[in-house]
Each structure stands twice: as structure tokens, then as C-alpha cells.
Amino acid sequence: MGALRLEGVTKRFGDHTAVNGIGFSVAKGEIFGLIGANGAGKTTTMRMVLGLIHPDEGTIEYNGKPYSKEAKSRFGYLPEERGLYPKVKVCDQLLYLAELRGLNRKEADRRLKEWLERFGVPEYYGKKVEELSKGNQQKIQFIAAIIHSPEYLILDEVFSGLDPVNVELLKETITKLRDNGTTILFSSHRMEHIEELCQHVCILHRSNAVLQGNLREIKRGFPRERVLLETEAPVEGLESVDGVTAVKKMENGYDILIREETAAQRVLLAAAEQSAVNRFAIMEPSLNDIFIRTVGGAHE
């Protein structure tokens, strides 16, 4: 049984179906990835999980139970559109939010100071939100989402606008929360983040779940159509090997696209006839490749 389970969930806005009969299950201590182009239905799904809007059909269960008002304090939410008040001090805002979620002020204050310290920005405690850069405002909003140690954490595009150091900092924090048993629903347009963090994913396309499951298993279901080759000396004529569709010369080798996996062996033979081969690898498809194949067209 998943800690969070959706079944046949549908949401309509007027005559537009934003989410159409989707279902998935997230285990306790798991980061589940929701993927989809703009307008696919990710945020609507998250808002239903949070009980902010209600499904027209289907069920959502939390540890086997339906939504209840008291469940609210067990949720943490980082919305895509950031919602802190610019004129209000970080401490006033976060302590207020933490109290709303059931923490007493003293404990909230202790935790806020601890998180600011951990994120290397203790001096933000008394600053107004508008005085901080966008990325740093986001760190504060992230703290707002987790300060009460939620059981369910819903993260909508959590890394957007962050520099690489802060992305790593939040990634580390998110994986620690996962390891401590937080159930996390995570959306991102950046496939490498999903690949790194999520074991199970659901690809939404125009309101429907078009592909979902264990990411490793999903990958096994797709053909391997890319070969990386590194050779001692330059190799000629790889383009004309039967089954090769494209060859890109790289700094220290070749990135080769093939029509079917058997062509990889012919590439290896052709290369080995001309040079010592330092590296030969048939690559599994990336999540980005899979997304484009499944949904069609480029993903931003």
C-alpha cells in the first residue's frame, strides 16, 4: 500500500478536462516524479493531492484514508508560483506559517534558525523578503514548506531559478528528507533532476498518464539507440556502417545514433579494424529521449 495513492482521478474546469483518470501510488520515503509539458496537468494533480481543489471523479488516499482537514498540517507545499509577501520579514512570515501548521512559536523559531544556518544564510532572519535575491527567496520558501516536518512534501519546480550550488544544497536536503521517511511528489521540466532523484515516474500528456512506473524498467522497455566510442586514432566511414543514422565527432571520440541495437556490433568491428578502441558503450535512452518519443516534440 502506498503512503499516497491516486485512483481514476479526474478534474474538469468547465468543459476542459485538466486531469483525466490518472492513478499512481507513492511509497513512504519515496520521491515520485510527475513529468509533462506545460499545461499537462501536473499542478492540478498536486493541488488535488493537497486538498486545495477536489477531484470530480476518483479517489486520493493518504495511508489508506481519504483527505481530512487534520491532514493539512502533514502537508508541505512549494508551489510553482512563489507566494511570500515581499514587505514582510522572513522571521515573521515563516513563524506565522509554521504556527498555522501546528508548531509552537518557540520550536518554530528554533527550527527556522537551524535551517537558515544549514543553508548558510542566518542573516536573513530579520530581512524583508524583497531584500533577498530570487534564488534566496526560494530557499526561504523551501524552508516554509518543510519547517513543520511534513509527512507529505509536494514540490513544484523546486529548482527553477537556483544556481548550481543551491540546486545541490536543496537536492541534498530533499534526499535526506526522503531517507527520513517523507513521501515526496516532485515535478520538474529538467529530466536530469527527475532521473537523479526519482525511482518511479508518471508522464502526463494532455491530461492523461501516458507512461508510468519504475524508471529502470521503463528504460529497459525502450531500445538502446546510441553508442559512445573512443578510439586511439581517428576512424573513418562510421556514417556508412549499416544501421548508423548519425555520427557526431566529440572531443575524444564519437557519439553515434543507430537504428537498432545490432548495428552497435558493426560499429565496433569497423572501429577496431582501424584503431585500438579505448571505450565502447551502448547507452540506455535518457529520460529526455523517452519523453520525446512518448509525447513527441521537444520538451522545454
* Count of residues of this chain found to bind ligand ATP when the rule CB under 6 A is applied: 12
- Residue of the chain from 18, 26, 155, 170 that contacts ligand ATP (CB under 6 A): 18
CA 279 – CA 277 distance, rounded (Å): 6
Q: Of 36-44, 71-79, 129-137, 142-150, which part binds ligand ATP (CB under 6 A)?
A: 36-44
For residue 188, the minimal CB distance to ligand ATP (Å) is 10
DSSP state of 27: -
Residues β-bridged to residue 276: none
Of 18 and 197, which CB lies nearer to ligand ATP in the complex structure?
Answer: 18
Q: Is 274 helix (H, G, I), strand (E, B) or coil?
A: helix
Q: Which residues, at least 6 apart from 115, have a Cβ–Cβ distance to it below 8 Å? A: 143, 146, 147
For residue 36, the minimal CB distance to ligand ATP (Å) is 5
The overall longest dimension of the chain from CA atoms, in Å, is: 73
Of 15 and 251, which CB lies nearer to ligand ATP in the complex structure?
Answer: 15
Query: CA angle, corner 70, sides to 64 and 73, nearest 5?
Result: 100
Q: Of 42-50, 54-62, 69-77, 94-102, which part binds ligand ATP (CB under 6 A)?
A: 42-50
- Residue of the chain from 38, 64, 106, 298 that contacts ligand ATP (CB under 6 A): 38
- Residue of the chain from 4, 22, 35, 44 that contacts ligand ATP (CB under 6 A): 44
For residue 41, the minimal CB distance to ligand ATP (Å) is 4
CA 116 – CA 134 distance, rounded (Å): 16
How large is the C-alpha radius of gyration of the chain?
A: 23
For residue 205, the minimal CB distance to ligand ATP (Å) is 10
Q: Which residues, at least 6 apart from 238, have a Cβ–Cβ distance to it below 8 Å? A: 229, 244, 247, 254, 256, 267, 270, 271
Asked if 55 interacts with ligand ATP (CB under 6 A), we say: no
Of 36 and 55, which CB lies nearer to ligand ATP in the complex structure?
Answer: 36
For residue 295, the minimal CB distance to ligand ATP (Å) is 12
Contact flags string 231-270 toward ligand ATP, x per CB under 6 A: ----------------------------------------
CA 223 – CA 238 distance, rounded (Å): 20
Q: Which residues, at least 6 apart from 80, have a Cβ–Cβ distance to it below 8 Å? A: 43, 156, 157, 160, 187
DSSP state of 223: -
Alpha-helix residue ranges (DSSP H) falling in the chain: 42-49, 90-100, 105-118, 134-146, 164-179, 191-197, 215-220, 263-274, 287-295
Asked if 298 interacts with ligand ATP (CB under 6 A), we say: no
Of 18 and 162, which CB lies nearer to ligand ATP in the complex structure?
Answer: 18
Site for ligand ATP in 80-139 (CB under 6 A): 80
Site for ligand ATP in 64-83 (CB under 6 A): 80
Q: Of 13-21, 219-227, 238-246, 252-260, which part binds ligand ATP (CB under 6 A)?
A: 13-21
Rule CB under 6 A: which residues touch ligand ATP?
13, 16, 18, 36, 38-44, 80
